[in-house]
């Protein structure tokens, strides 16, 4: 792969990572509700989930999502159910007025492990990521492409995704905006919960037979 082709992949991956969606909402929830470190854990784990799809796409397994609709639909339904689960958690957190920050004197309600788990699962249960990489890598990866180059592309995609959401976590936890976000955290939690449900419903409606 030429350097120009690699830069093209980088540009497309950056644009893909910056597209708003449930991943952004999850990072927002942990960065504001718990800590910047929790936001980082969520971001890095999400990047690993993206990297997982990048790898399986180049091994040929990703083609299952394109050629076997039932397989893709099962993963999509699981993703929708997970979003509803996250919505219930967010709504309950808003209703209880709980705060995750121990520095505010409250009890820590979420762990770094939970943040990482949610970040990974949001990516892992989104088969659209596999379809995205199928479309992207088909333009750059040929049958004789060496595995070193394939893993470089997968690492590039995962690194860009993780780096973007780490930047989001830094921005959301900045001293200039964090006090306002925390002051309105109850409404932010509820908006995030509603967003999760709306996205879940769209996913389910999208796979129902016409």
Q: Using one digit for the tens of pLDDT, what is the confidence trace for 160-169?
A: 999 999 999 9
What pLDDT is recorded for position 23?
A: 92
Instruction: Specify if 60 maps to a domain.
Output: yes
Domain-embedded: residue 87 = yes
- Cα end-to-end distance, the chain, whole Å: 42
Q: Is residue 112 part of a domain?
A: yes
Q: What is the pTM of this model?
A: 0.85
Q: How many domains does the chain have?
A: 1
- Specify the length of the chain in residues: 210
In a domain, 187, yes or no: yes
Q: How far is CA 142 from CA 146, 147, 150, 159, 191, in A?
A: 9, 11, 10, 22, 44
Residue 14 lies in a domain: no
Q: Is residue 96 part of a domain?
A: yes
> Which residues span the domain enclosing 191?
23-207
Q: How confident is the model over 84-142, as pLDDT tens digits? A: 999 998 888 775 655 544 444 444 444 788 999 999 999 999 988 988 998 888 787 77
In a domain, 155, yes or no: yes
Task: Check: CB of residue 77 under 8 Å from CB of residue 132.
Answer: no
Return phi, psi of residue 70, to 5°.
-60, -40
């Amino acid at each position: 792969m030429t350097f120009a082709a690699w830069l093209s992949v980088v540009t497309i991956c950056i644009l893909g990572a910056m597209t708003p969606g449930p991943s952004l909402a999850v990072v927002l929830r942990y960065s504001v509700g718990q800590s910047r470190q929790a936001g980082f854990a969520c971001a890095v784990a999400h990047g690993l989930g993206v990297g997982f799809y990048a790898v399986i796409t180049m091994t040929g397994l990703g083609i299952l999502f394109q050629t076997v609709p039932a397989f893709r639909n099962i993963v999509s339904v699981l993703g929708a159910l997970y979003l509803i689960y996250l919505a219930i958690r967010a709504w309950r957190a808003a209703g209880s007025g709980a705060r995750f920050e121990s520095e505010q004197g409250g009890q820590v309600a979420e762990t770094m492990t939970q943040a990482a788990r949610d970040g990974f699962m949001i990516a892992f249960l989104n088969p659209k990521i596999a379809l995205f990489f199928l479309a992207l890598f088909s333009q750059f990866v040929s049958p004789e492409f060496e595995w070193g180059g394939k893993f470089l592309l997968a690492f590039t995609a995962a690194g860009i995704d993780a780096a973007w959401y780490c930047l989001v976590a830094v921005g959301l936890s900045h001293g200039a905006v964090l006090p306002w976000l925390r002051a309105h955290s109850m409404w932010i939690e509820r908006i995030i919960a509603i967003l999760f449900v709306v996205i879940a419903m769209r996913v389910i409606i999208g796979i129902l037979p016409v």
